[in-house]
Every structure is written in C-alpha cells, then in structure tokens.
Structure 1
Amino acid sequence: MRLLAALLGVIIILISPAPADAAPALRTFQVTLTPGVDITVPAVVNLGAGLVGGTLTGQLGRVEVSDFRGPVNPNTWVATVSATLFTTGPGGAQRTITRDRISYWSGPAVRSTGGGTVVPGQPTAAQAVTLAATREAFRKTGGNGNNTVAWVPSVRVAIPTGIVAGTYQGTITHSVA
C-alpha cells in the first residue's frame, strides 16, 4: 500500500486532582506527499483535565480527505489512525498512558462531496477501538471523480490509577493511502 499523505496531531491532557477549564487550541495544517490527495487535521487539541482513575473524552476536530485525482480508476482510499504513548516528565510507568487506554471512533461523515461510497471505521462510541494498533478511520470504497470527505473523530482516555499528576502529551496520526 502506497502512503499518499500523512498528518500528525498532538494531543495534550492535564492529569490533576480536580478538573480544570481548558480551551482547545486548534490549528490545521497539511503535508502532501502525492499530488491529488490531501488530508488535514487539527494540529493541537487540548482534551482538558481528568481525574486519576477516571475517563476523559473529547473530539479531535475535523479531519478531511480531499482526493482530486479525477477519473483515475480505481479512485479509492483508506484513512488510518494510530497513536503514540502519552507521557509527562522523565520516563517511568507512572508517567505513561499506554495506547491500549486510548480509544477512538471516527463518527459519521459530516461532509461528503463527489461520487463513490464512503464508510466510517467506527460510526458510534459503541464501536470505539483502542489505538494499541493502527486502525482504519474512514474509507472510500468505490466510484471515481473528485471527492472530499470530512469527519469529527472522538477519543476516550482511560486514566490509570496511581499515575503521576502532570500534563501528558501524545501524538495521534491520521494517514491516507
């Protein structure tokens, strides 16, 4: 499978004894490796604060794949998602949130133009998958012509008990091929 475009987003989580108000700082950028297919995602998302042993859920912001290859056959693509560990301070198990504690669901398409069939990887929270491995986020399964598909994925972080309070950062990567 040939990598057409990849994009990284940094997720910030503050672990504290009590929740704090935190406004998300969203920026969008793109990296294009092959002309005709682009993917854009928010560059930085602040999920806010959560309690040790609790769960923190939030949206990542709009992810969009734009395919302007025209009548290329087949005109299909698959967008995938993966994550790094979420860490704070110097190493150690008490300073790490592992990828199996980070769940993702794509949600439905919020925008779809052009021909073809688009399929969300996980339409609802009930279908959420952990990011312990690379997962399918969305796909275009058929048709040709120019198309654009956007979705607003969500993540859920299960904060471990006994974890050190701090600001945890990790990267969630969306790619399209």
Structure 2
Amino acid sequence: MNRHFISTRLVGLIGAIAFGAGVLTSTPAHADTCAANTACSTTTTFDVTAGVLDITVPDTADLANDAAPGENAYGQLGAITVNDERASATPTWTASVDMTGTTGFTTAGGDGAGEVIPETSVYYFSGDATATTGDGTFTAGQPGTFTEPPTTPQGQTLAASRTAYGHTGGTGNNSATWNPYITAALALSNVSGQYTGTIAHTVV
C-alpha cells in the first residue's frame, strides 16, 4: 500500500474536520431571520435583585433638655431608619423598641438611693415619619406631634416592648425614617448626676 497516499488522505481529512469545526464555531447565533418589512423579535431578560431588611440607629444620644427632680427630662433620640430592600411582593415589617431586661436609666452605678429612673418612668414617642419611600401604608406606633415642653409624659412607657413603626401593603422596596422623643419622668427622690440607659430597636 502507498504510505504517501494514506498520509495525504489523513491530512486532507484532518483539514476538513478542522475547517468544519471552524465554520461551526464562527457562525453567529441569530434570534430570527425575517423578510423585509417584517418585525424580527429578540427575547430579552434581566434579573431584579433582592437585598435585606435592616434598621439603622444612632450609636449614642444626649437628650437636649435636662430636668430637676420631679420634672421631665426629654429630647429626640436621633434618626431611626428602616430600609427594606427585599423586593418582596409582601414587604411587611414592624420595628419595635424597648428597655426590657435593663434597670432603666442609672447614675453612679445605680446602687444607691435615688440613682435609678426605672423603665416604667421612661416614655417613647415615635411621632410621624420625617421621610418615607415606596408604596404601601406606613404607621407610627405613637403618631402625632410631640408638645414641648411636656407637662406630662407623652407616648408609651418602655416597661414593655412597643411598636415604633410599621409598614404593610405595597410591593418592592421601601423605607421609613423617624426621630422619636424620649421623656424621663424624674422622681423627687432622684439625685443629681448623668444618667445612662440603653434603648434598643429591632425590625422583623
């Protein structure tokens, strides 16, 4: 058998395969082929991404209005913001606030007489939102306008968990920001000093 002939056939076959593969890989994909004056359609897709539900609060706050024993110390806590980026068909959430599990506001360690303002004497007033985005219904836990100075405490005590703000209805993303007032009703027995306590917000 002629080895030159076999070798030539193999080279030709390999070349044909390589050429065919090149033709296959270089052919562009077409959505459609249409005659003149006929609309050609391309199916197009993209994703709407989803994020998380979170709440942002100030690290620290100093109530602007101090008070003497028997009076009301009060002030705004700072901006609280719930941001819902879940892109949900049912973007319902509730933000809660409490001081439960604490001893309220204390000074000098809170061990001596008159050094504690219990959570039953601390009041939270969310007021109306300062800003919202998205659709649906936003509801304040303690709606309205805070009256300064408070002759009596306004809002709800933080002796239990309270609703600060909530959202129902709508779809997609939304957000709400409010700046709540805190009022501490001082007893006549409270001593002087800087009082410190922890107020916690959560959103679910």
Category of TM-score, reference length = shorter chain:
0.7 to 0.9
Which of 151, 160, 173 does residue 133 from structure 1 map onto?
Answer: 160
* Secondary structure class of the residue paired with 1:132: coil
Aligned equivalent of 2:132: 112
Aligned equivalent of 1:98: 118
Give the % identical residues: 42
| CA displacement at 1:92 relative to structure 2 | 3.7
Aligned equivalent of 2:190: 163
Report the Cα distance in structure 2 between the residues aligned to 1:147 and 1:93, rounded to whole angstroms.
Answer: 47
Aligned equivalent of 1:52: 69
| CA displacement at 1:73 relative to structure 2 | 3.3
* Secondary structure class of the residue paired with 1:169: coil
Structure 2 gap segments, 5+ residues each: 1-50, 148-153
Report the Cα distance in structure 2 between the residues aligned to 1:164 and 1:56, rounded to whole angstroms.
Answer: 14
Are 1:73 and 2:89 counterparts? yes
Aligned equivalent of 1:82: 98
Report the Cα distance in structure 2 between the residues aligned to 1:80 and 1:104, rounded to whole angstroms.
Answer: 11
Q: Taking structure 1 as the reference length, what is the TM-score of the superposition? A: 0.75
Report the Cα distance in structure 2 between the residues aligned to 1:129 and 1:93, rounded to whole angstroms.
Answer: 26
* Secondary structure class of the residue paired with 2:171: coil
Structure 1 gap segments, 5+ residues each: 1-34
Aligned equivalent of 1:16: none
Amino acid aligned to 1:87:
T
Aligned length: 142
- What whole-Å deviation, never above 9, does each CA across 1:43-83 have from its counterpart, x for those lacking one? 1111143211111121111100000001x232100000112
| CA displacement at 1:130 relative to structure 2 | 0.7
Report the Cα distance in structure 2 between the residues aligned to 1:47 and 1:150, rounded to whole angstroms.
Answer: 19
* Secondary structure class of the residue paired with 1:122: coil
Are 1:146 and 2:146 counterparts? no
Amino acid aligned to 2:160:
A
* Secondary structure class of the residue paired with 2:130: strand
| CA displacement at 1:110 relative to structure 2 | 0.9
Choose between structure 1 and 2 for higher RCO, CA contacts under 8 A separated by at least 6 residues: 1
Amino acid aligned to 1:80:
S
* Secondary structure class of the residue paired with 1:100: helix
